[in-house]
Structure 1
Amino acid sequence: MLRGIAMTLYPLPVEIRSYVIHKPRLKVIFPQVDDKKYAHAAVQINQMIYRNVLDLIRLTGYEENETTEVQGSYEIKLNERELLSLTLTVYGYTKGAAHGMTYQRGLTFDVNSGHHYTLAELFRPSAPYVAFLSKDVARQIQEREIPTLEPFTAIAPDQPFYLTDKSLVLFYDLYQLAAYVYGFVYFPISIYALQPLMDEQSPLNKLYY
């Protein structure tokens, strides 16, 4: 009896299966939702994931240069409370280049509907989320002494992100904020700090307790 109640309060994680795109000089592993309970939503989620994987591969120049080698993988950042958040990462190296280049995407979904969330959709309509999040990012840049390539002013309205169980994590691609040596720069922000921006429809509410 108690087990049944727990499963009602906390839906089980959606089932994920790994797939591989394997071609000469290319091996990219990516996730797909493989769960009969969410079969309809899985179609939309899987198509979105696959399109983004192909986009990342194109960014490496794999099709244009026969010396480019590509590897890719993924990380599941959140898979609970009927939310799925993940990152896709693809690395490409072209012979003769000083170094390779890594590209990353963050994707967050409602596993019931298959809806892909934008950053703005995490908050109530018209919430000043850009200013709010930018203030926190600016604080972290100063506290962590991150040497930015240009003076930081604000995040983008569609800033890349992913969710963990209790944080919103904004990130910047290579060269976007800091020099290559610093890699991807991540800014975790507690969901509890975001309460002033949320309403009952916010997916962040599912993680609030």
Structure 2
Amino acid sequence: MIPIPFELPVQIVSHPIRMATPEIDLVYPQVTGLANPSAQTAINLEIVTEFALLVQQLGYGNQNLVEMTGYYEVKTNERGVLSLLLVVYSFTGGAHGLTLAKGLTFDVHTGRRYRLGDLFKPDSGYTKVLSGFIGEWIEQWEVPVLEPFESISPDQDFYLADHSLTLFFQLYELTPYVYGFPYFPIALKSLESIIADPSPAATLLPF
């Protein structure tokens, strides 16, 4: 693995959307100052599109909407890799509200967005490998699953952070609501044999 030259983090600007009735407080990110304008446009369009899908799914514009909040977390911003987590919560009545989360990972030089399968070599069997890790942890951590876990989706939600690939599940997808979002971090070093190179996962492998 060739060492990656030091790069300054990407500049990120927060854009708020606020309203009094219903109570809406949304903040989404946009990147700025990239050397490649086409890459910057592509990344920002993906972010806006995914954030809009989340708020739409959670009832933005619904007459029963009482409250909606949204924010983002920067998980990785180094070596030309940007990995974000978008989170939106809404309450439309009932016992409790609902929250959705979406992970986005980009190559800031090209603007390419990476799905989970893009991080691994073709025919690597990555779903089986990753599912094996998660199955073991569900058992070891005694995670209360709604039904027996069999496998992740080929396009499972994820983000990259701290030299790890973190897979996560939506509320009710794997566990009861009270458990929140189940997160499963897997060290990239343990996946090195199946990681595609080039890819953001390869870039973030520890030296």
Category of TM-score, reference length = shorter chain: over 0.9
Give the distance between the partners of 1:106 and 1:147, measured in 2 at CA.
Answer: 23
The superposition leaves residues 28-76 of structure 1 with CA deviations (integer Å, 9 ceiling, x where unpaired) of 1011001142432110000110011111111111212244310100000
AA aligned to 1:83 is: V
Q: Which runs of structure 1 show a deviation greater than 6 angstroms over 4 or more consecutive aligned residues?
A: none
Matched ranges for 1:161-172 at <5 A: 161-172=158-169
Q: Aligned residue for 2:129?
A: 132
Give the distance between the partners of 2:173 and 2:75, measured in 1 at CA.
Answer: 22
Give aligned-pair identity as a percent.
42
The superposition leaves residues 86-108 of structure 1 with CA deviations (integer Å, 9 ceiling, x where unpaired) of 0000000113x100100110000
Q: Aligned residue for 1:3?
A: none
Confirm or deny: 8 A CA contact 2:127 2:153 kept in the other structure: yes
Specify every segment of 5 or more residues in structure 1 that has no aligned partner in the other structure, as ranges. Answer: 1-5
Give the TM-score of the pair, scaled to structure 2. 0.93
- Give secondary structure in 2 for the equivalent of 1:152: coil
Q: Aligned residue for 1:86?
A: 84
Confirm or deny: 8 A CA contact 1:61 1:68 kept in the other structure: no
2:3 maps to 1:10: no
AA aligned to 2:184 is: F
CA shift for structure 1 position 162: 0.2
CA shift for structure 1 position 201: 2.1
Structure 1 or 2: larger helix share? Answer: 1
Give the distance between the partners of 2:61 and 2:104, measured in 1 at CA.
Answer: 25
Confirm or deny: 8 A CA contact 2:65 2:90 kept in the other structure: no
Confirm or deny: 8 A CA contact 2:119 2:196 kept in the other structure: no
CA shift for structure 1 position 202: 2.9
2:104 maps to 1:103: no
- Give secondary structure in 1 for the equivalent of 2:8: coil
Q: Aligned residue for 1:184?
A: 181
Q: Aligned residue for 1:26?
A: 24
Give the distance between the partners of 1:36 and 1:67, measured in 2 at CA.
Answer: 37
Give the TM-score of the pair, scaled to structure 1. 0.92
Matched ranges for 1:138-149 at <5 A: 138-149=135-146
Confirm or deny: 8 A CA contact 1:62 1:69 kept in the other structure: no
AA aligned to 2:29 is: P
Q: Aligned residue for 2:117?
A: 120
Q: Aligned residue for 2:67?
A: 69
Specify every segment of 5 or more residues in structure 2 that has no aligned partner in the other structure, as ranges. Answer: none
CA shift for structure 1 position 136: 0.1
Give the distance between the partners of 2:102 and 2:55, measured in 1 at CA.
Answer: 12
Confirm or deny: 8 A CA contact 1:62 1:68 kept in the other structure: no
AA aligned to 1:165 is: D
